[in-house]
Structure 1
Amino acid sequence: MSQENNIIYAEQNEKMKAAYLKAQDTFNYFWREIYWEAKRMVPAHDLSLVKIPFQQMDEANAEPTVEHMWISEIAFDGENITGVLMNSPNLLTNVAEGDTVTRKVSEISDWMLAIDRKTYGGYTIQVLRSDMTEEARKQHDEAWGLDFGDPNNILVAYKQEENEENLIEHPMSKVMEKPARDYFEANLDAVTAIDENGVTRLHTETIAGNKIAVEILLELGADKTAKTNTGKTALDFATALNWKHLIPVLK
């Protein structure tokens, strides 16, 4: 490889590493949208995926072989992301399409949502698109059937450009304020219920970044000091997931 190619490869590698970190930092927005999608009568997502690195040691090489692949059917408990591998590996033999896998947020390399064919996240894809010509980007997007937009302006929340407040509270959270209050007032046992993992509704709503629901739960007696079986309070989740608007409420 020539020195010029080495430089180009190194620059792209650094861009990819930065993309991984950005995806990890903004995963909270991905999960917030997944949370609300589960409550919709009519699904709004065209796709919702998380990319994670898989690796396998090879006796012939000192370094492991790594392959980044997408998982779907995402679940998240505030600490662990679980999903199903969407495709067959090209390089690895220790995983297969359809396998269920679990990773920490700090281990993912990307996430991507598409709503009304418009993408959110997709940081590693945008690194690749940023090096394409305009025509190549157009062909890439047509192949996916999605609008990836400007690779230098990656969106994380639905209609955030028109409504910046969507970066703070999900629009469905506001719409559902009265139904949520009515439900919790009529079902106070749900406010204090604890599942087999020590998770309360306050934990769940905090993980999803829903300030309105968190405030209602606290008004109705939810215990902000309650800990999961792994020792996490709602404040711990708000801090770890960088939900800045929830931290003062939970302190």
Structure 2
Amino acid sequence: MENTPIFFADGESQNMINAFEKAQETFKYFWRELSWEYRRIIPALDVACVKLAFTQDIEGETIVEHMWINEINFDGEKIKGILVNDPNDLTNVSNGDYVEIPINQISDWLFATQDKTYGGFTIQAMRSEMTETERQEHDDAWGLDFGDYNDILVAYEQKEKPENLTEHPMSINMKDSLANFIKENPNELNGEDEFGYTFLHREAIAGNSTIVKVLLDLGADKDAKTNANKTARDFAESLKWEHLLPLL
């Protein structure tokens, strides 16, 4: 990911471009959280959305618009979801469209839980240039308290429990139940979906080292490749999940 270009429109401030870069660097934490959200019986997130750069050549000029999507999925290379904004000038996408966008076109991500927001780098860049009154009006419009624009969180309780930056607590807590599930359903261990992804691929993308170790200990094939010829290690490397590399 470090060598992929950041999409931005001419005239955007360096402050905003820095926000795009930070969002790309940390998107893996968003996906890790959302991957666990999809497994929860009771949802924990109040908001989960990603802002992407959409482009179109219009009269010889490349037009870029940054818009939000929800109902998100991620395969390690493309972000998929439903567009929830109306474009200003673009005619190649519409509000409500299903879209698939390469990871290097991320411009922001946001999730919120228990009255705290995580991510929102472009939002905080904009808030940093507002007055206190404007920030309050902005937050009221979102229905969220974005807090200090100089203090952006990326992982749940990362200050109280800095180890959460390395491993999601649910990965640790689900260790035994996952092992029992695989023992009762052995075909799940190396079974592939229609795109060639195995359980191990998906957990590597989400950065769950405890789960990855359980799968490997039970006999998961770490050399298995997706239809696009990607191994679990390939995804761990591209997303910079450094703690997974010794396992894979």
Common fold: TM-score over 0.5: yes
Bigger mean CA deviation after superposition, 27-36 or 89-98: 89-98
1:49 matched to 2:49: yes
2:80 aligned residue (79, 82, 88): 82
| Maintained 8 Å contact 1:69/1:85 | yes
Distance in 2 (alpha carbons) for counterparts of 1:79 and 1:21: 17
Distance in 1 (alpha carbons) for counterparts of 2:28 and 2:233: 14
| Maintained 8 Å contact 1:27/1:105 | no
| 3-state secondary structure, aligned to 2:243 | coil
Measured after TM superposition, the shift of residue 39 of structure 1 is 0.7
Distance in 2 (alpha carbons) for counterparts of 1:64 and 1:225: 40
1:103 matched to 2:94: no
| 3-state secondary structure, aligned to 2:246 | helix
Q: Which residue of 2 aligns with 1:13?
A: 13
Corresponding letter in the other structure for 2:28: N
| Maintained 8 Å contact 2:172/2:211 | no
Q: Which residue of 1 aligns with 2:130?
A: 132
Q: Which residue of 2 aligns with 1:31?
A: 31
| Maintained 8 Å contact 1:114/1:120 | yes
Corresponding letter in the other structure for 1:220: L
Distance in 1 (alpha carbons) for counterparts of 2:24 and 2:223: 26
TM-score normalised according to structure 1 size: 0.91
Distance in 2 (alpha carbons) for counterparts of 1:231 and 1:130: 43
Distance in 1 (alpha carbons) for counterparts of 2:56 and 2:220: 45
Measured after TM superposition, the shift of residue 92 of structure 1 is 2.1
Distance in 1 (alpha carbons) for counterparts of 2:147 and 2:245: 32
Bigger mean CA deviation after superposition, 49-58 or 121-130: 49-58
Distance in 1 (alpha carbons) for counterparts of 2:206 and 2:90: 34
| 3-state secondary structure, aligned to 1:149 | coil
Give the alignment of 1:181-192 within 5 angstroms: 181-192=179-190
Corresponding letter in the other structure for 2:14: E
Q: Which residue of 1 aligns with 2:4?
A: none
Gaps of 5+ in 1: 1-8
Deviations 1:36-60 (A, max 9, x none): 001111111111111112223222x
| Maintained 8 Å contact 1:199/1:228 | yes
1:225 matched to 2:223: yes
Corresponding letter in the other structure for 1:212: T
Q: Which residue of 1 aligns with 2:6?
A: none
| 3-state secondary structure, aligned to 2:88 | coil
| Maintained 8 Å contact 1:188/1:220 | no
Corresponding letter in the other structure for 2:237: T
Measured after TM superposition, the shift of residue 181 of structure 1 is 1.3
| Maintained 8 Å contact 2:45/2:112 | yes
Q: Which residue of 1 aligns with 2:22?
A: 22
Gaps of 5+ in 2: 1-9
Q: Which residue of 2 aligns with 1:207?
A: 205
Give the alignment of 1:164-179 within 5 angstroms: 164-179=162-177
Measured after TM superposition, the shift of residue 225 of structure 1 is 1.0
Q: Which has the higher helix share?
A: 1
Q: Which residue of 1 aligns with 2:235?
A: 237
**In terms of Rg, which structure is larger?**
1
Number of residue-to-residue matches in the alignment: 239
The RMSD of aligned alpha carbons is 1.5
Distance in 2 (alpha carbons) for counterparts of 1:190 and 1:58: 47
Bigger mean CA deviation after superposition, 87-96 or 225-234: 87-96
Deviations 1:174-193 (A, max 9, x none): 22111111111222221121
